[in-house]
Amino acid sequence: FGCRDMIGETKEIDSLLMEIDSQLTERTNVYLIGGGAMMYNALKAYTKDLDMVTTSLKEYEAIRDALFRIGFESTKPTPEYCRFNLSNILQRENGNRIDLFYRTVCNKLKLSDEMVERATLRFEGKHLSLHSCSPSDIIVFKSITDRDGDIQDCISLIRSGDTEWKVVLGEILNQVNDGEGVWITWVEDKMRKIHEESQIRIPILKELTKLSDEFIAKWEQEMIDKLPEDER
């Protein structure tokens, strides 16, 4: 990384990856989501942090320990992560930050096997391989966060023409079928805001609204069922 807070080129990411690679002794895979992944797709000029996800605890621990050895330290989560179940936020003195996750990127959303299959290899060192998630999957991740710029990032992803709405909806359905629930309301809300701010047509908005309404109706019924009969 450079000495500024922002990462402005993918070669800066590659430089960090080489540092991490030098500290590893076994084959390790990591998946990049968010702004860093968008940079590799030429859809974002810079990012203030890198969001990395591993699919195994062993790989998570290996990367975490490698980051410690090259000067990163753990910091406390910031308020915009109130919905997140962070594995670790790591930062160096120059202000650059890495948000490292083990499989679960928030309380309800996981890096699925399908997301892994859709990811693109961007860096391969002696031990470390970094893959960037697809634009469609980045939209899924960004649709549940409260971070500044997420709506604009989603608009950029959609306008690029690389969004496969069938994939986006399918991933949402897979997550819901696996038992993930409440965040469907966040996704629907974010997609509606994207449409309202940009006037971009969201082909799956009707389906998302239906899923969100069904979740809310089920939750409301569960609350009613818990009431004494004379209060229903």
What's the whole-number mean pLDDT along residues 175-189?
Answer: 82
Helical ranges in the chain per DSSP H: 10-22, 34-40, 57-69, 113-118, 135-142, 150-159, 165-177, 183-198, 205-225
Q: What is the pLDDT of residue 184?
A: 87
Give residue 109's pLDDT band: very low, low, confident or very high (50, 70, 90).
confident
List the one residue out of 34, 96, 98 whose CA is nearest residue 60: 98
What's the whole-number mean pLDDT along residues 162-191?
Answer: 87
39, with CB counted inside 10 A (0-12, 13-18, 19+), is buried
Higher pLDDT, 101 or 178: 101
What are the tokens at 116? Answer: 């892994």
Is the pLDDT at 103 greater than 80? The verdict is yes
Q: What is the pLDDT of residue 82?
A: 46
Q: CA 157 to CA 14: how far, in whole Å?
A: 22
What's the whole-number mean pLDDT along residues 216-223?
Answer: 91
User: What tens digit of pLDDT does each residue of 112-136 get?
Assistant: 999 999 999 999 999 999 999 999 9
Lowest-pLDDT range of 34-38, 54-58, 173-177: 173-177
Q: What is the pLDDT of residue 2?
A: 42
Q: What is the pTM of this model?
A: 0.85
Q: What is the pLDDT of residue 149?
A: 86
Q: What is the pLDDT of residue 226?
A: 87
Q: What is the pLDDT of residue 172?
A: 85
Q: What is the pLDDT of residue 1?
A: 44
Higher pLDDT, 148 or 193: 193
In this structure, the number of other CB atoms found within 10 A of the CB of residue 150 comes to 21
Q: What is the DSSP string of 47-89?
A: BSEEEEEESSHHHHHHHHHHHHHTT-EEEPPPGGGTT---SEE
Residue 43 phi, psi dihedral angles, 5° rounding = -115, 0
Give the C-alpha distances (Å, rounded to integers) separating 182 from 90, 107, 173. Answer: 28, 10, 13
What are the tokens at 106? Answer: 């928030």
